[in-house]
Amino acid sequence: MRAIQVEDGKLVWGQADVPAIGAGDVRIAVRASAVNRADIVQRSGGYPPPPGASTILGLECAGEVLEVGDGVTRVAPGDAVCALLAGGGYAEQVVVPAGQVLKMPSTLTYEEAAAIPEVFATAYLNLYQEAGLLPGERVLLHAGASGVGTAAIQLCKRTHNPTFVTVSGQDKIDACVGLGADGGHDRSAGSFVDAVTAWHGGEGVHVTLDPVGQAYLADNLKVAALDGRIVLIGLMSGAVTEVNLGVLMMKRVRLIGSTLRARSIAAKAKVMDGLQRDLWPALESGDIKPVIEDVVPMQEAQRAHDIVEGNQTVGKVVLSLAG
C-alpha cells in the first residue's frame, strides 16, 4: 500500500507494508485522516508511538470497512466508519481494534467524520470522565480555536457549561464565540488572569483544559475555583515549572495529567462508546459539527502540516484520499 513516510523530517508519499489483521481488529480503506499537533511532534522525533502501534502518522481516520477479524460484530465489511487510532491514519489502509471504531454519522462526509475521533474523544474524556464536569460549572479552554478547543466549546454548550477561551487573535475569539464560548482573551496581550477573573466575577473556574503546560500553570491556579480541576493535556510551552503548593492545597485544586494515545484498548473503547451514546445524535442532527479549516490531499501532507504550524487555523486540517 501507499502511505506518508517521514524522510529527513519531511513528509513524502511512498510505499509501506500492509498491516496484518488479528482477532478483534478491523481493516479500513482510509478515505480521510486529519492532522493533530501530536503528528507534528512525532514527525520531528519527539513523540514516538506506543509499543506495537504503527509508526505511520495519523491518530484518526474515516473510511470503509474492508475486513473484520474473528469475534468482531460491531461493524461489517462495507460499513462507513470513523476510528480513533494509535497511529497509521496517513495511509491507504489501517488496522485498528474494533472498540475504537464507530459507524459514521450518516449525515457526514468522510472528510467531516475524519475530523471527529481524536479531538472529540480528547475533549469528552478530559471534561467529563477525568474532570467530572457538572452542568453549570465554568470552563477555561486554552487554545480554544484548536481542534480540541472547538470540540470542547460545542460539548460544553450542549451540557450548559459557560466557557472562556484563550487564543491568538481577535478573529479566533470571534470564531469561538460563534461556536458558543462566552468570551476570550488574546494571548498576545499577556496574562489571561484579569480577563478570566472579570468573566467569572471572582467566583473562579471549575475546570481548565490546558495543552500549554509550563507557561500557564501558575495562572491556571490563580483563576481556579475551590475544588477546581486543571487537566493538563499537552506541553506546548514546556514540561518543567514551579507550582505554589499552598494555593493548590488551600483551593483544593486537582491537577490531572492526561493522555489518550497510550491508553488501553478497553479504555479507548469506553470513550468511543460514550461518544456514540452522548454525541452521535447531535452529529446526526447537525447540532454539533466538526470544525474544518482546510481539506488537503493526503499526498500533500507536508503542506497540511505547514498550514497547522502557521497557527492561523480554526479547527482541523483534514487529509483527503480518493477511493
Residue 220 has pLDDT above 80, yes or no: yes
Nearby residues of 4 by Cβ (< 8 Å), 6 or more positions away: 11, 12, 13, 14, 56, 57, 58, 90, 91, 298, 301
Determine the CATH number of domain 2-116+290-320: 3.90.180.10
86-134 pLDDT, tens digit each: 999 999 999 999 999 999 999 999 999 999 999 999 999 999 999 999 9
8-65 pLDDT, tens digit each: 989 999 999 999 999 999 999 999 999 999 999 999 988 889 999 999 999 999 999 9
The CATH class that applies to domain 120-257 reads alpha beta
Asked if residue 161 lies in contact with residue 138, where contact means CB atoms within 8 angstroms, the answer is: yes
Portions of the chain given CATH number 3.90.180.10: 2-116+290-320
Q: What's the predicted TM-score (pTM) here?
A: 0.96
**Rounded-to-integer distance, Cα 56 and Cα 276, Å:** 27
pLDDT category at 235 given cuts 50, 70, 90 is: confident
| pLDDT attached to residue 314 | 97
Portions of the chain given CATH number 3.40.50.720: 120-257
**129-to-124, 125, 267, 270, 274 alpha-carbon distances in Å:** 7, 5, 11, 10, 10
- Look up residue 286 and give its three cell numbers: 447537525
